[in-house]
Amino acid sequence: MEDAEILLELAMDEHDEETEKETSQIISRLETKLQDFEIECMFSGEHDANNAMLTIHAGAGGTEAQDWVDMLLRMYLRWAEAKRFSTKILDLQPGDEAGVKSATIMVTGRYAYGFLRSEMGIHRLVRISPFDVNGRRHTSFASVFIFPELDDDIEIDINEKDLRIDTYRASGAGGQHVNKTSSAIRITHLPTKIVVQCQNERSQHRNKDIAMKMLTSRLYEREKKLQKEEREELHGDKKKIAWGSQIRSYVLHPYRMVKDHRTNCEIGNVDSVLDGNLEPFIKAFLLWQH
């Protein structure tokens, strides 16, 4: 701020447009940092500072819904890139004709989980279908789940007898998404029916390690959710989270608007949101929670 003030004085005294431009850039960077600090002050969850695992599943609707998953995956990857978070695709199941049936990515960075937990829920897309020869409007749904990466010192008791471990050949086009090997791992936790899978690594052992980490996180989040529901029931709290309802709508036709139904935050520039501009929704969600 001091640098900006000194440069501004110089620019005004000498009528120097270049120095004025430099001052403007410093102020712009300061504003961005201030917004980040404001958001970080609202992080109060136990695991908000952790890395995050993000999973997207296609809802009913076949190719339409699978294409929507692909769009959401790109949106989150672009958001993470802008935040300078690193990402790694742990699992990707391609669609039958186009798009993606499901995808799981690891987002690594400070407060990744804190930022992304606002995204958990059902995301709804309304548009003229590019797959419909009659050009009709379609509504597609996809579910997004967010789990924190847990530290190794947090213990979740998993009995080997409760696990079914299957190996299979990695599917997809290969390249940056998956390695085409026979080392993919799927783990089913029989008591809870939770299924996790990983096919990113060439080593079956490494895929199993990552899948077990995913399962541990899923079981931890499940336990936390059960405890929260029990507390709400004891206190007569009727404001339970409706996991089955949409949290956000992305409308491309007949008008263009993205609206978060929890906070009523609206953005008319749909392309900007689909390119990863999620900050207004994240900040509105954190304020809404507080």
In the chain, where the domains are located:
2-40, 52-150+243-289, 160-233
Q: Band of the pLDDT at 91, cuts 50, 70, 90?
A: very high
Residues in the chain, overall count: 290
The Cα–Cα gap between 14 and 74 comes to 47
Taken in order 172, 173, 174, 178, the sign of the CA dihedral is negative
Answer yes or no: is pLDDT of 81 > 60: yes
Sheet with 184-189, strands from edge to edge, namely 163-168, 184-189, 194-198
- For residues 123 and 72, the answer to whether their CB atoms sit within 8 Å is yes
CB 146 within 8 A of CB 53: yes
Chain segment 171-208, per-residue pLDDT in tens: 665 445 445 556 899 999 999 999 999 998 888 999 99
Q: In what helix (H) or strand (E) does residue 290 lie, and over which residues does it extend?
A: none
Residue 238 pLDDT:
38
pLDDT(103) > 50: yes
Which of 3.30.160.20, 3.50.30.50, 1.10.3720.10, 3.40.50.720 is the CATH number of 160-233? 3.30.160.20
Residue 288 CA: distances (Å) to CA of 50, 225, 238, 262: 22, 20, 17, 8
- The predicted structure's pLDDT at residue 111: 94
What's the pTM value of the predicted model, to 2 decimals? 0.75
In CATH, which of 3.90.470.10, 3.40.50.620, 3.30.70.1660, 3.40.190.10 is domain 52-150+243-289?
3.30.70.1660
Max avg pLDDT among 28-37, 198-207, 251-260: 251-260
- Mean pLDDT, the chain, rounded, equals 88
